[in-house]
Structure 1
């Protein structure tokens, strides 16, 4: 199975969760994530049925969300900034003041095994995470677990949190 096929399969499994299943699983995930949250937190506004930690944490914490700067680079900006529609159906801050000193980054996941994540395939997060000293936490549903070939550019996360476990 190609990497593209694996991505499609993981997205389909994630999308097959009912609204009530999703809400219960997201609550379990956010409860597991909470003890790790402190300081400046990088997160994301979910697309394509990604785990939604943003809605739960947006009023509680000092959040920073990614903005695409070019074809290879993202940077994080305050969630308090005005937002615009970005590429790939994302919502991004307009990007007035970049925050380079994040304490924690909650990372979206398409698929995972061990503490490696599969993203959408463009490498934005891997490039960013390779230069960051923040605690890197992937958030995913159990149904997204899959085996895949790890490339040298894939960044190992500090942990992946699902509704049933914390992988370290």
Structure 2
């Protein structure tokens, strides 16, 4: 079976109560790193949800797909619509280019490398970003995979039990 599918399936098998406990632990671990302008995602497909725990307390920016290769981050205060791939996106008026921290969704991880859904949106964006890059994942999503030259190493990955740097 495809490694992405395995990681997504592992994540999906967590019960709602397990997920909530793990997400609270991840949120508590990530809080000390949150400062300034924060890029964050609104979770889909059972991704780690930190957004619902912090969205009222920080200056947040969420990604919007601009085309088949590019994302940009816009204020979470903007009106939102359903985007491609069923993501929730801001309509996109005030783009923020200087984020201080970016919380990144993870399909699978190996050391401090993340496996995404395979389209490369985040890798292309993170390549030029000076922000602190933090992947959020459950322990069950850890899996050895081949790192490609286009994969951007994160500063850390936070799970419910540890911080990998």
TM-score normalised by length of structure 1: 0.98
CA distance in 2, matches of 1:119, 1:93: 21
Alignment match, 2:9 = 12
- Of 155, 158, 162, 1:161 maps to 158
Can you give the 5+ residue segments of structure 2 that lack an aligned partner in the other structure? none
Q: Does 1:147 align with 2:106?
A: no
CA distance in 2, matches of 1:61, 1:74: 21
Q: Does 1:130 align with 2:127?
A: yes
Runs of 4+ that moved beyond 4 A: none
CA distance in 2, matches of 1:106, 1:166: 13
CA distance in 2, matches of 1:99, 1:56: 22
Alignment match, 1:121 = 118
Count of aligned pairs between the two proteins: 165
Query: RMSD value over aligned CA atoms?
Result: 0.5
- SS of equivalent residue, structure 1 residue 102: coil
Can you give the 5+ residue segments of structure 1 that lack an aligned partner in the other structure? none
CA distance in 2, matches of 1:35, 1:71: 34
CA distance in 1, matches of 2:19, 2:128: 32
Alignment match, 2:98 = 101
What's the CA shift for 1:151? 0.3
CA distance in 1, matches of 2:35, 2:150: 28
Alignment match, 1:66 = 63
CA distance in 2, matches of 1:148, 1:75: 27
What's the CA shift for 1:97? 1.2
